[in-house]
Structure 1
Amino acid sequence: MNNPLFHHWSEIKYLKDLVSNPLIEVGEYSYYSGYYGNQNFENGCVRYLWGDIESRKLFNPIKQFGWKLDKLMIGNYVCIASGAVILMGGNHNHHPEWITVYPFAEQIEQSYEPKGDTVIQSDAWIGMNAMIMPGVTIGEGAIVAAGSVVSKDVPPYTIVGGNPAKEIRKRFRESEIDMLLEMRWFDWDRSWVEKAIPLLSSSSIERLYAFYKQEVVGG
């Protein structure tokens, strides 16, 4: 059975309209395409993150244990496909260096170790059934191929794939990436983005840069 939130595979949901967990920060126009998933974004794509309605009823690790909980931070214009999994901080109580990896309740307070915030920067694309491990940063404009397991940071405008995910190639030349990192089009006012859509939907970074210098910087 497909996700009842979605009526067709082409339908998307903006994360701003889905997210209520205080540990998830979401930018503008980022979306989840969850038709082929069986759970919603917060309880299916994002996993083991305290702060949803039910976990807040059960316990409060911040007040009870003094834990500093990891956050999920998602930029603007991020695309997340069905089946993607973002693993978060609720599962850091298994210690491979201890004799047992079993999380005895009596040791939970002492055993928790934060992994750091998970960050998916603007204009990144997370492919279907990809898995993002805790504490990873996905750089601006990066692409994570379908089915990949990402355990290390991904540089901006880089395509990675596999398990563990490895760099396949850069999307653009280094000089072009430098221009994109300078422009940060995804942080522009929406009116500028709409004017630049034909350029954003092309391969001409030089023309977009000229638009940026004339209209955004000089306008």
Structure 2
Amino acid sequence: MIKEIFNILKLKLYNKREMNRFIREFREKNLHNHTFPVSRFILENVSIGKATYGPIEVLDYGNKNAKVRIGNFCSIAANVKFLSGGGHNINTLSTYPFYAYFSQKEEENTTKGLISIGDDCWIGRDSIICSGCNIPQGCIIGAGSVVRGNFEPYSIIIGNPAICIKKRFVKEIIDILLDIDFSLIDKDFISHNFKNLYMPLDKNLALYFRDEIKSKYKL
């Protein structure tokens, strides 16, 4: 009994040390944003853009092909899970992972591919983003949604299974916004546009933002 307790405490200490090491490595890679990891995952398989903030929980289950790409200026709420790996075979006799429990061979879980999150996306609390999911620029994911598949830019997406219920803006404005490179937005642009950034967006304001960024970088 004492030996079992000792082994449990030893494992907890090891996991804590490994998590602390992983957090340091993660932050060294992500000095350009405000994210922090709440799980360990294959670090090189996850990329996160400028100024994005929030907790990062990637569940890859050790799958080397399970990748996540998150854009710039994204907002990620608490308890969001990126389910990039961990799939089971569904076209065989059983979905059970026989290798894991009845052999010495490592189980190979499946993935449906890259999870891609575009710039300026807001992912609500307790949402699950499944492998192979493409959430492009400007989308909003409602709290508690389970998201699979592909969506169009600036969609508002909710539910399980998640569906697009509306667009944030009319097509004319969306087309202008898609011409903005969010990676070029910097502190100088933000500090000079605080008031504009909090104004309801119309066509003229969208054009102003686009042209301001392009002129700044002579695009």
Say yes or no: TM over 0.5. yes
- How far did residue 204 of structure 1 move? 2.7
**Structure 2 counterpart SS, 1:101:** coil
Distance 1:79 1:49, change over 3 A: farther
- How far did residue 218 of structure 1 move? 3.1
Q: What is the rounded CA distance, in whole Å, between the counterparts of 1:197 and 1:116 in structure 2?
A: 38
Q: Deviations over 1:18-64 (max 9, x none)?
A: 598111101111111x5xxxxxx3xxx221353xxxxxxxxxx7xxx
Match of residue 95, structure 2, among 70, 94, 101: 101
Alignment of 1:28-43 (within 5 A): 28-32=50-54, 41=56
Distance 1:196 1:71, change over 3 A: same
Q: Is the 8 A contact 1:199 1:208 kept in 2?
A: no
Partner of 2:208: 210
TM-score (norm: length of structure 1): 0.71
> What amino acid is the match of 1:82?
A
Pair member with larger Rg: 2
Q: Deviations over 1:36-93 (max 9, x none)?
A: xxxxx3xxx221353xxxxxxxxxx7xxxxxx6121111111111112111012x12x
Partner of 2:134: 137
Distance 1:75 1:100, change over 3 A: same
Gaps in structure 2 of 5+ consecutive residues: 1-32
- How far did residue 208 of structure 1 move? 3.7
Q: Deviations over 1:180-210 (max 9, x none)?
A: 00123x2224022332332222223422412
Q: Deviations over 1:101-143 (max 9, x none)?
A: 1112259779554411111111100001111111101111100
Partner of 2:48: 26
Q: Is the 8 A contact 1:183 1:209 kept in 2?
A: no
Q: Which has the higher contact order (CA 8 A, sep 6+)?
A: 1
**Structure 2 counterpart SS, 1:48:** coil
Greater mean deviation of Cα atoms: 203-212 or 145-154 = 203-212
| Runs of 4+ with deviation above 3 angstroms | 17-20, 106-114
**Structure 1 counterpart SS, 2:43:** coil
**Structure 1 counterpart SS, 2:174:** helix
Q: Deviations over 1:155-196 (max 9, x none)?
A: 111101111001111000000000100123x22240223323
Alignment of 1:78-89 (within 5 A): 78-89=74-85
Partner of 1:122: 119
Gaps in structure 1 of 5+ consecutive residues: 1-12, 35-40, 51-60, 62-67
Q: What is the rounded CA distance, in whole Å, between the counterparts of 1:197 and 1:110 in structure 2?
A: 51
Match of residue 71, structure 2, among 75, 78, 96: 75
**Structure 2 counterpart SS, 1:209:** helix
Between the two proteins, what is the percent identity of the paired residues?
31
TM-score (norm: length of structure 2): 0.71
